[in-house]
Amino acid sequence: MFAERNQARMDPVFDFSVLMYSHDTFGLGHLRRSRTIAHALVSHFPGVRVSIVSGSPVVDAFPFEDRVDYIQIPPANKLPNGTYTSGSGELTFEQTVTAREAVIREAAERIRPDMIIVDKEPLGLAREMLSTLKWAKAKGAITVLGLRDVLDAPELLREEWQRKHIVEHLALYDEIWIYGPGSFYNPLAGIDLSEATLSQTRYTGFLPRTMADEDVTEKYGRDYVLVTAGGGGDGYDLMAAALNAVRQDRTPDREFLFVLGPFMTERERFEIAARASNVPNVRIIDFDANLEAVVANASAVVGMCGYNTFCEVISFDKRALFVPRTAPRREQAIRANRAAEFGWVDVIDIEMAKNPRRFLAAINAVLQRPKPSAAVGRPDLDGLNRICALTEILFDRREEILAASELRKAASS
């Protein structure tokens, strides 16, 4: 089997181009997940080229492997209530979406991708991917919808997908990849899917993370307790509660590293930094694009249980205490509590964490708990290998897939 896979990698049919869509209206999750997959594809397939369409304003802070580039689209912002606004003061939200859609379409027509991978939003933000998806399918591109392990509570996702008319457009996709194991969670449990769609759904396992060549030990040391809020846009409550707890810690030589995230507001950033200035065992940094190495050097992680932080915790076998948010989505709380059921992590509610003594007790407890690898059911971290294998299979079956796509189009017309 290994020999067959290596032979397939060198076959000319695997000299192809991929366009990845990452809408990036809040935080870093979509971009970092897309970047991880892109790097795996170029590592596995010597002839592949990947372009990531991203709305993230900090995309240029991240290094990219050879044969991976990014195309920046105008930014849009997600508000705490779940609605969206333009990321530019010069454009309305509608004008921003129109501009984004035009950049995406121009990029697709220029690149003419053999494969499109869309992250999380099946039609894109405000349907901005729909016309490009239809165009690409007409040109014979393979199309994949990639979903994280948890999207939202089933009833909330069902309402959202009904409102956006998602299900009726799933025929545009050749496969749906779920970036987690089937035994962990079914993100589409609340959606009434056809047998055809169910037959095209694949669980990949979690996406493992590795460290870049850069060593962050000289900058931050080792064996600190890492407190991270991912992108930081909704991380103030966690940071404030953790700082109140740490003020009461009297453990000799215990160090804390707080990573606020690039999207925390200036006011919140200033407040946390000012309050931490007289706490000798706390160091505050805004952001480090090499967060994998920052996690790998930690003795434990205190975070919110976004997908990327969770994958880093289990990839580097770190003890973790998660304080998940529950609005506007319940994704983090579902993931954190499910992981706790498997014995991989500890969880504390944010309201309980606002009690400094309880929060500090939870931090002390997590530093004594077994690592995730000690659990009876270990995390499935083979997601990137499976994505590469699934990609090979899709290209092997390309003619068959194109014929099936034409049949689906005829049936839905």
CA 231 vs CA 51, 83, 105, 121, 261: distances in Å:
22, 18, 28, 19, 4
Do 376 and 308 contact (CB within 8 A), yes or no?
A: no
Identify the pLDDT of residue 232: 83
* pLDDT digit string, tens, across residues 101-138: 999 999 999 999 999 999 999 999 999 999 999 999 99
Q: Which tokens in the block code for residue 393?
A: 């299979």
Q: Buried b vs exposed e over 31-58: b needs ≥16 C-beta within 10 Å?
A: bbbbbbbbbbbbebbeebbbbbbbbbeb
* CA 294 – CA 287 distance, rounded (Å): 10
Which are the contacts of 119, defined by CB distance < 8 A and separation ≥ 6? 20, 21, 22, 23, 30, 33, 34, 146
Identify the pLDDT of residue 231: 85
* CA 360 – CA 350 distance, rounded (Å): 13
Chain-centroid distance, C-alpha 311: 9
* pLDDT digit string, tens, across residues 162-219: 999 999 999 999 999 999 999 999 999 999 999 999 999 999 999 999 987 778 999 9
Angle at 383 between CA 297 and CA 325, to 5 degrees: 60
Of 349, 388, 372, give the one whose Cα is nearest residue 39.
388
For residue 284, the surrounding DSSP H or E stretch is: strand 282-285
Q: Where are the beta strands (DSSP E) in 131-224?
A: 142-148, 175-179, 201-203
pTM score, two decimals? 0.92
